Structure 1
Amino acid sequence: MKPDEFTRAVDKGSIAPFYYLYGDEPYLIEKGVKRLLDRIVSADFRDFNFNIFYGNECKGEEIFSAAQTLPMFADRRAILVKKSQDLSAAALDVLLTYLQNPSPTTCLIFQGEKIDQRKKFFAEIKKSDCLVEFKRPYENQLGAFIREEIKACGKRIDPAAADLLAYMVGNNLQELASQIEKVVTYCGGRDSILMDDIKAVVSDTKVDTVFELADAVGEKDPTKAMRTLYTILRDGEAPLMLLAMLARHFRQLWRVRELMDRRVSSAEIGKSAGINPYFLKKVMDQARNYRTAELKVIFERLLELDSALKTSGGKPAALLERFTMEVCGK
């Protein structure tokens, strides 16, 4: 079952007797669990009809017994098993028996990070179409996530502001949701969130200066690039975070450069690369400074730099300085 199918079914009140929610995006998994619990168990009677277990601490018999218990003062009860990836083989065997004949008055929810679909336990859940994987969204999907989160708060966001927020924070949804909450609070009674609101609130993450560095190397301006790099290093920005932002920027330049070489129109470039028109001209201007062969070499250097930073293959400042000068052609 896909996440959007899961959401629609739960919102309609079509609740299966069990689910396994997993994936590499914990924020979406937590939202999925909350959506289920809010639909299944009233907050007033949750003490009577809700149990939490942890896969690394419990036995299958304990979960089985709780799932067979009848609800009190309600139609249904919920059982949540966190860290389900840590359930023992013996526990999975016990719970497989339950899955083959589940209680109609219980919703058993497994929450985990990964699965092994070769095991009969997961095959049984998949057969019932109750296996839901929540993947971390790609960068071009972040705008939709931001708009939905803002809409849920009763506000709307300017498209360029949404793109800026995605660009500044990246695809860590927990951090993105936290920044959205700050922006919504900052805007108070205003219905619309604008570019200036994002800059005012999210600038505390220090990424403004990182953007300046990305633009400087994109423009092949060594003086500006080195001055900005020294400022970033002086302020204690994490080298790997800085490297990730540079890699993102050059990945975008590479995509735009390929499209420009194919003589694709500006509008189509923006659409294909997922770049808001507000930023498109600047990105295209920078892409003209590089040939695709150059960008390939830069990505090879980024991989080398990533490895060096992670294995202490040199001083971070010296490595970043050398990379910056090489990219700028000096």
Structure 2
Amino acid sequence: MDEVKALVSDIKSRKFVPIYFLMGEEPYYIDRISDYIQETVLTEEERGFNQMVLYGRDVSIEDVISNAKRYPMMAEHQVVVVKEAQDLARNIEKLVDYANQPQPSTILVFNYKYKTLDKRKALYKTLKKTGVVFESKKYYDNQIPNWISRVLAGQNYTITQKAALMLAEFLGTDLSKISNELNKLKIVLPEGTQITPELIEENIGISKDYNNFELHKAIGSRDILKANRIIKYFGENPKDNPMVLTVGFLHTYFSKLLHLHGLKDKSPRSVASALKISPYFTEEYITAARNYPMKNVSAIISTLREFDVKSKGVGSNAVPQKDLLKELLVRIMN
């Protein structure tokens, strides 16, 4: 993310602002920027007297302001970090007077997770003038593989597209969780390594052949034998492949197919843009749309809703997951 790089570059160059208000749905960059400030602004000797971490649930806005107005001891700056600052949301606008005239020797950092300031109100407008307001937005599913590739490229690794897609499917959109798994890979793999599905299977435990990505591909191409093998594997390994997730992924897949059927322009570029998928997938979706007419897709989505309820134990009379999966596959592919 270019905004993050620019912000980190300014901090590294010691071009500080008195208030950093880090907010938004995705906590990963909020934590990374906040940690970077804590690690780099002050020396180790200066931190003892001049670095303070407060928690929103334990303090008031008045407490934060009082600490921010202190002067540093034997240092050019003091750093005050307010973690879980979203707990101060009810009274956060009280910060506006301090934001108008912040203490220049204090670097005040707010970690305001899962929420954002009201951009119509005075505090947001004031902070934009006197400090930095950074909004960390949630990534969409289709953005995650490229994010993984960019992060690894910056650390002198590469990754194949299929491997990135496997990680994205298995780990979801939680950037912190993905980053932790990438760090595990970096411990065992030397710099310059190209990360492949085989390396992911060996080191993280995600099967390169038996996963929802391969299931969608098999169903979409009407490869009944391969789809049955994957479903059998899922039934035998329910902890690693919970049915509720499989049904959810399939519902998303067929919902995209329904959307594709409604497109006037079915060129690969148009399909990738409209469905918010990687261009890598477009031919697969176009093939699947040929194999599953709109009427069939609508019926399959209805079936998936039925099995979503069953996968949660409602109306299934304790039918084993492997049997439900087999029945679901028959209903979809017939």
Match of 2:147 in 1: 145
Aligned to 2:79: 78
| Local SS of the residue matching 1:233 | helix
- How far did residue 268 of structure 1 move? 6.3
Q: Aligned partners of 2:159 and 2:226: how far apart in 1?
A: 32
Q: Residues 271 and 199 of structure 1: is their aligned pair in 2 closer, same or farther, counting only changes over 3 Å?
A: farther
Aligned AA for 1:201? N
Q: Which residue of 2 aligns with 1:323?
A: 328
Query: How far apart, in 1, do the equivalents of 2:54 and 2:6 lie?
Result: 27
Question: What's 1:165 paired with?
Answer: 167
CA distance in 2, matches of 1:9, 1:174: 19
Query: 3-state DSSP class of the match of 1:288?
Result: helix
Between 14-23 and 189-198, the greater mean CA deviation after superposition:
189-198
- Paired with 1:263 and 1:63, the residues of 2 have a C-alpha distance of 55
Q: Aligned pair 1:108/2:108, yes or no?
A: yes
Residues 130 and 301 of structure 1, relative CA distance in 2, 3 Å threshold: farther
How far the C-alpha of 1:328 sits from its partner, in A, is 1.1
Identity rate of aligned residues, in percent? 25
Query: Partner of 2:98 in structure 1?
Result: 98
CA displacement, residues 268-321 of structure 1 (integer Å, 9 cap, x when unaligned): 6567754354x6554443332112343344334444544554584545736544
Note if 1:5 corresponds to 2:3. yes
The answer to whether the 8 Å contact 2:159/2:194 transfers is yes
Aligned with residue 275 of structure 1, among 274, 278, 289? 278
Identify the range of structure 1 (140-149 vs 317-326) with the bigger mean alpha-carbon deviation.
317-326
Q: Flag the 1:208–1:57 CA change in 2: closer, same or farther, 3 A.
A: farther
Alignment CA distance shift 1:184-1:60 (3 Å): same
Q: Write the deviation string for residues 82-134 of structure 1: whole angstroms up to 9, x where unpaired.
A: 121211645x3653332222111112111122135166544543565733221
Q: How much is the aligned-residue C-alpha RMSD, in angstroms?
A: 3.4
Shift, 1:69, TM fit: 1.7
Q: Distance in 2 between matches of 1:43 and 1:22?
A: 27
- Alpha-carbon distance change, 296 to 174 in structure 1, aligned in 2, over 3 angstroms: farther
Separation in 2 of the partners of 1:40 and 1:216?
53
- Segments of structure 2 that go 5 or more residues without pairing to the other structure are none
| Letter paired with 1:5 | E
Partner of 2:245: 241
The 8 Å contact of residues 17 and 106 in structure 1, kept in 2 or not, is answered as: yes
Normalising by structure 2, what TM-score? 0.79
**SS of residue in 2 equivalent to 1:28:** helix
Work out whether residues 163 and 276 of structure 1, in 8 Å CA contact, stay in contact via their aligned partners in 2: no
Alignment-mate amino acid for residue 133 of structure 1: E
Contact between 2:30 and 2:111, CA under 8 Å: does it hold in 1? yes
Match of 1:174 among 157, 173, 176: 176
Alpha-carbon distance in structure 2 between the residues aligned to 1:34 and 1:252: 39
**1:131-168 C-alpha deviation (Å, 9 max, x unpaired):** 32211212332233212321332223344543443344
Q: State the partner residue of 1:59.
A: 60
Distance of 1:275 and 1:108 partners within structure 2: 40
Equivalence for 1:217: 219
In the TM superposition, what whole-angstrom CA distance separates every residue of 1:209-239 from its partner, at most 9, and x where no partner exists? 2334333332345565455324313312322
Tell me the residue number matched to 1:41: 42
What is the distance in 2 between the residues matched to 1:131 and 1:310? 42
| Stretch deviating more after TM superposition (9-18 or 292-301) | 292-301
Distance in 2 (alpha carbons) for counterparts of 1:140 and 1:199: 22
SS in 2 for 1:27: helix
**Residue 159 and residue 308 in structure 1: after superposition, are their counterparts in 2 closer, same or farther (change >3 A)?**
closer
Measured after TM superposition, the shift of residue 249 of structure 1 is 3.4
Moved over 6 A (4+): none
Shift of 1:6: 5.1
Structure 1 unaligned segments of length 5 or more: list them.
none
**8 Å contact from structure 1 (residues 19, 130) kept in 2:** yes
**Matched residue type, 1:243:** V
